[in-house]
Amino acid sequence: MPPVLCLFVLFGALCPYGEAMSLEEKQKLRNQVVEMFDHAYQNYMDHAYPADELMPLTCRGRVRGLEPSRGDVDDALGKFSLTLIDTLDTLVLLNKTTEFEAAVRRVLSDVRLDNDIVVSVFETNIRVLGGLLGGHSMAVMLKEGGQHMQWYQDELLHMAKDLGLRLLPAFNTSSGLPYPRINLKHGVRGPETRTGTETDTCTACAGTMILEFAALSRFTGDPVFEDHARRALDFLWEKRQRNSNLVGTTINIHSGEWVRRDSGVGAGIDSYYEYLLKAYILLGDDLFLQRFNIHYASIMKYISQPPLLLDVHIHKPLLPARTWMDSLLAFFPGLQVLKGDIRPAIETHEMLYQVTKKHNFLPEAFTTDFRVHWAQHPLRPEFAESTYFLYKATGDPYYLEAGRTILDNLNRFARVPCGFAAMKDVRTGSHEDRMDSFFLAEMFKYLFLLFAEAEDIPFDVEDYVFTTEAHLLPLSLSTAPNTSSILSNKTSDEELDDSNFDWTCPNTRLLFPDPAFPRSLREPIRSAVDKSCPRPAPYREPGMGRPPLRAQDFMANNPEHLELLRRMGVSLIHLKDGRVQLVQHATQAVSAVAAEDGVRFMQEMMELSSQQQKEQLPPRAIQIVSHPFFGRVVLTAGPAQFGTDLSKSSTGVRGFVTVAEPYSGCTEITNAEYVQGHIALLQRGQCMFAEKARNIQKAGAIGGIVIDDNDGSSSDTAPLFQMAGDGRSTDDITLPLLFLFHKEGNILLEALKEYREVEVLLSDKARDRAAIFKGKPLPGSLIEGSVDVQEEEDCQTEATTPTSFEPVSQSQMSTEELDESVPEEVTPAQEEVSPAGEVGREKEDKAVDSQADTAQPKEERNSEKAEEPRGDTDSSSQSVDELLADWREDLEAFKQMEKDEL
């Protein structure tokens, strides 16, 4: 039996559980996927091509150098019509053969690969080289069918080889690891390249080359590409930490030293593990499977804390490296399905599904208690990918319903007239003017396959392997001559654990004898995320007495208490913002009884924490509705725990803004004649928030906006800020008060400075423009002609709702955060709660930190986001002037659109 096939024998083997979806319903959803793809693809072709990507809010193409720089994210753009190339094999899968043929002709006639531009080696490999190879595979398949592409003479393969040769100089390092960037025209050497000085690359960036490069070698018969990709993988394997068998996130390409020693399965490492397993599937080389299994055993031992996947340190794998997870790890349940380890795949996927249902999309990062850490969502497809693989493995219609949820959320919250827009903030529903190429390359493939029957697919997908960008490479390449001149380093017999290989071809009848088993795995996870986990009555063995330490007695600086925690398997992590996080690993307790005590202690600590914190509120939105913005600019704002509850107002509060005098709002307002009937702008500090609200309310204001006085603060990087009261009744405050960080506040102030009259809408979420203007012609509409207003209203009828704070309690792992700004002991909170790090300002204003984890300082977060293969770049490192310059350029674009329409 060929080694490849055993990985797929489990597909459909499990008995489905739940109410089956009718064929008619599946067909309806399948057709909906195709319609959504058409909406995205046609808008790219109409408004963006030949640009690399579509900007769906402004209905134009994103051309590198003509738009404000987004940092590393722009390294994927090479002026080579990225989205078109990335979408080629999607067109075939969705039975759009005519469109595919036209797209191939466009690529051959229009696309140049010799541009003088610096691009990411990783992104260019998976998106462009992978897209060309996937397109070539489809073209060959169609040509062999005898009806289409009869004119095709391997032109896409010739382009792929040209691109491969342009990427090869990146591998010219002593280690064999590629440079992270390369100039398509000049390579990496010489001043004209404007690159080649980098010293670090991410593990995934160096370890995600083997599928595309090996396929290129086997298609062309030239072994040089596969040789270089294998050499890079060999070096990463040699540099793994030998005790933990884990790899770090960032490595020096010259010395091989680990630069960042944290290890997980998300951003920076993800596709390295994926390509080890898939290289075995595609190439049939047992060496790749052996290495993957060794890594996988360590992942399940150290990183996996079902249903969580938490980064650890490679040298101290029992020590957590961070308290949040990024959305890229959502691919991992799908990889576990290929591995044959279904149980943890079901558990992690269910956790991700519940987080998705809470926020409508997976936030770019979220905490261990499932709150938003990074609020962006660039329409990533990894959750859809895992949903598809789990449905294939189990046949459980539950995963069809998960797919329906993905479709509904995309249509309701991300769909715009010119395509689908990424979410800037899942809490408020604000959009970002981007539609990445991977949305068309991956999302619609997996969703179509999820709802498709065998007769709907023009070829057998089991004959192909999906790359990390979901490009299709034929498994027949495993039988192609392998003329590689490099022998990979063999894995010694001592490193192998034969028992680990049993999972590669599991007997699903033994693993899952009960058809209801998948549901039994999901239920406790759903309860944990929903914060309704039933807690059994405490049990202790006879004679054991009470737990040795109660939560209300715990003091973080008491050595005796710390030793008791250690015995219970509870460890402390001191966060950078002054808080302490408690993490409980039952397996690290000195005994089963001590582990039980640890679980009970964590439960008590959670209950105590919930008493200490008031109910947390979701973020609010400030939407600029006056000329020339007309509702397009939405600022994420923090709420107040007093005053008008905007979530209970169907219309929000709308009015013109004016700066209060004094700006602090801490004494009687001296320009009351201007504040009356307006929304007052105030500066944070010098007094309490409630006092500011009372002063502007007395002056006749209809609302207030407090702007942070901390230069450079931004909702992009800082946790959401909630304004608390002043320790006495705030029932007398009847107006809404919202909080803006410095960056967002400056946008509002600059608009006021330039236009003098600025009208805003204070609400619980971004409103669609049709609702704001109540049926009047939409000023500055992005496109002329009829717009389905009902569709736009549907897209905005529900606000994204983040979870309030509730740590997770699982038998294997629990976390709890304490505020160490109260140094001696943890006690039930008074009526007011100040966040960690705010104690010094308690006399000025009080606040509650409603986002989970601020452990990472701003610079550290920026570096981590910059190193994500597909992450957003954090704008907090830019100066305010630069941010405002970017904003002004967007404003000029809006003005130009208005002129065009007039």
Q: Tell me whether strands 419-420 and 759-763 are parallel, antiparallel or unpaired.
A: unpaired
Task: Kindly state the tokens that stand for 97.
Answer: 């053969």
675's tokens: 């504040």
Q: Which two tokens stand for residue 265?
A: 């399965």
Question: Is 382 a known active-site residue?
Answer: yes
- The helix (run of H) or strand (run of E) holding residue 538 is none
Cα distance between residue 824 and residue 818, in whole Å: 12
Is 270 labeled as catalytic in the residue annotation?
Answer: yes
CA separation for the pair 335, 738 (Å, rounded): 43
CA distance 491 to 579: 44
Do 722 and 849 touch, CB atoms closer than 8 A?
yes
Catalytic residue among 72, 89, 364, 764: 364
Residue with tokens 């722009």: 74
The Cα–Cα gap between 802 and 48 comes to 34
User: Strands across the sheet with 570-574, in order?
Assistant: 570-574, 580-585, 813-818
Adjacent-strand bridge partners of 682: 706
Q: Write down the catalytic residue from 227, 270, 311, 872.
A: 270
Q: Which residue has the tokens 């490999």?
A: 125
Helix/strand/coil (H/E/C) assignment for every residue in 677-733: CCEEEEECCCCCHHHHHHHHHHCCCCEEEEECCCCCCCCCCCCCEEECCCCCCCCCC
712-715 own/partner pairs: CB under 8 Å, 24+ apart:
712/742, 712/743, 712/876, 712/880, 713/741, 713/742, 713/743, 714/741, 714/742, 714/743, 714/744, 714/875, 714/876, 715/375, 715/425, 715/619, 715/635, 715/636, 715/741, 715/743, 715/744
Active-site residue (options: 99, 123, 442, 792): 123
Reply yes or no on whether 661 is catalytic. Answer: no
**Is 867 one of the catalytic residues?**
no
CA 50, CA 79: separation in Å to the nearest integer? Answer: 8
Distance CA 848, CA 836 (A): 9
Amino acid at 537: A
Among 647, 635, 641, residue whose Cα is nearest residue 616: 641
N-term to C-term CA, the chain: 68
Cβ proximity of 493 and 287 under 8 Å:
no
Q: Are 439 and 420 in contact (CB under 8 A)?
A: yes
* Residues involved in catalysis: 123, 270, 364, 382
